[in-house]
Amino acid sequence: MTKAMPILGVVIVTYNSSDVIRDCLDTLLSGAKGVALRVVVVDNASPDETVNVIKAWASGEDDYILPADLPFVTTLLPKPVSYAPSTNGDDILHLIRSDTNSGFAAGVNIGLVHLAKDPRIDRFWVLNPDCVVPPGTAEAFARYDPGYFSIMGGRVTYYDQPDMIQMDGGTINRWTGVTSNVNLYASIDETTPPDPAAIDFITGASMVASREFYEAAGPLPEEYFLYYEEVDWAMRRGDLPLAICPLARVYHKTGTSIGSPTHGRIASPFSLYFKHRARMRFVRRYGPASVPFAWAYTLAKAGQYWLKGWRPEARAIVQGAWEETCSTDALEHKCER
Choice between 267 and 68, residue whose per-residue pLDDT is larger:
68
pLDDT of residue 337: 30
DSSP-assigned states of every residue in 282-314: HHHHH-GGGHHHHHHHHHHHHHHHHHTT-HHHH
Distance CA 62, CA 7 (A): 29
Is the pLDDT at 302 greater than 80, yes or no?
yes
Percent of the chain exceeding pLDDT 90 equals 86
pLDDT of residue 157: 97
What is the residue type of 66?
Answer: L
How confident is residue 85, by pLDDT bands cut at 50, 70 and 90?
low
Percent of the chain exceeding pLDDT 70 equals 91
Give residue limits of the domains in the chain.
Answer: 7-252, 269-332
How confident is residue 266, by pLDDT bands cut at 50, 70 and 90?
confident
Contact 143, 265 (CB under 8 A): no
pLDDT digits (tens, 9 = 90+) for 178-199: 999 999 999 999 999 999 999 9
pLDDT of residue 335: 36
Length of the chain: 337
Mean pLDDT of 286-301: 96
pLDDT of residue 2: 46
Distance CA 105, CA 219 (A): 8
Of the candidates 73, 74, 53, 52, the one whose C-alpha atom is nearest the C-alpha of residue 64 is 53
Distance CA 23, CA 256 (A): 13
Where residue 304 falls (left for φ over 0; alpha for ψ -120 to 50; beta otherwise) is alpha
pLDDT of residue 67: 96
Distance CA 97, CA 157 (A): 29
pLDDT digits (tens, 9 = 90+) for 201-259: 999 999 999 999 999 999 999 999 989 999 999 999 999 999 999 999 999 997 655 65
Distance CA 181, CA 203 (A): 9
Is the pLDDT at 307 greater than 90, yes or no?
yes
Compute CA distances 153 → 59, 188, 204, whole Å.
Answer: 32, 15, 9
Cβ neighbours of residue 128 closer than 8 Å, sequence gap 6 or more: 12, 13, 24, 204, 205, 206, 252
Distance CA 254, CA 158 (A): 8
Of the candidates 237, 144, 241, 252, the one whose C-alpha atom is nearest the C-alpha of residue 204 is 252
pLDDT digits (tens, 9 = 90+) for 271-283: 999 999 999 999 9
**Collapsed DSSP state (helix, strand, coil) of residue 9:** strand
Compute CA distances 85 → 27, 175, 258, whole Å.
Answer: 22, 45, 26
pLDDT of residue 328: 61
- The CATH number given to 7-252 is 3.90.550.60
Cβ neighbours of residue 284 closer than 8 Å, sequence gap 6 or more: 291, 324, 325, 330, 331
Contact 313, 269 (CB under 8 A): yes
Distance CA 70, CA 155 (A): 17
Angle at which helix 50-59 crosses helix 21-30, to 10 degrees, equals 40
Distance CA 14, CA 274 (A): 18
DSSP H or E segment with residue 115: helix 104-116
What is the residue type of 183?
Answer: N
Average model confidence (pLDDT) across the chain = 92
Contact 200, 172 (CB under 8 A): yes
Contact 156, 206 (CB under 8 A): yes
pTM of the model: 0.92
pLDDT of residue 1: 37
